Amino acid sequence: MRIPILKLKDCLLISIQWELDDQTALEFQEDLLHKIHATSARGVVIDITSIDFIDSFIAKVLGDVISMSKLMGAKVVITGIQPAVAITLIELGIRLEDVLTAIDLDNGLEKLQQELGD
């Protein structure tokens, strides 16, 4: 089962609500990039509030998908990073630099729309 990607105006919303296995993470990466291309989305909000643990592979996929989305011209906001996930990301050296973050989906979407100048 793949992670649903919702389109709202010119943004894509994704809520990851369970721990990803490696295969699902790679499918998500592929699906998101195709969806950005197909919808000409200008922004992406990835909500990971429900994720309380992240391993090095998933962290790398997340870092990669952010860089790839940027290359395609979409701004990415990550919302709801929990303490343990923040610790893991920094300890793994994945600094998610230049990535917008926000406490929840509402704030993330607001931040993104400000950035996009809507």
The residues binding its own copies (CB under 8 A) are 1-9, 13, 15-18, 47, 105-106, 109
| 79 phi and psi angles, rounded to 5 deg | -120, 150
**Residue 3 Cβ vs its own copies, minimum distance, rounded to whole Å:** 7
Minimum Å distance from CB 72 to its own copies? 21
For its own copies, give the closer residue by CB, 89 or 105.
Answer: 105
Name every residue whose Cβ is closer than 8 Å to that of residue 83 and which is 6 or more positions away in sequence. none
Between 87 and 103, name the residue whose CB sits nearer to its own copies.
103
Please, are residues 14 and 45 in contact by the beta-carbon 8 Å criterion? yes
CB nearer to its own copies: give 31 or 92: 31
Please name the residues in contact with 112: beta carbons below 8 A apart, sequence gap of 6 or more.
11, 43, 45, 75, 77, 100
Q: Nearest distance from residue 54's CB to its own copies, in Å?
A: 17
- Amino acid symbol at 44: V
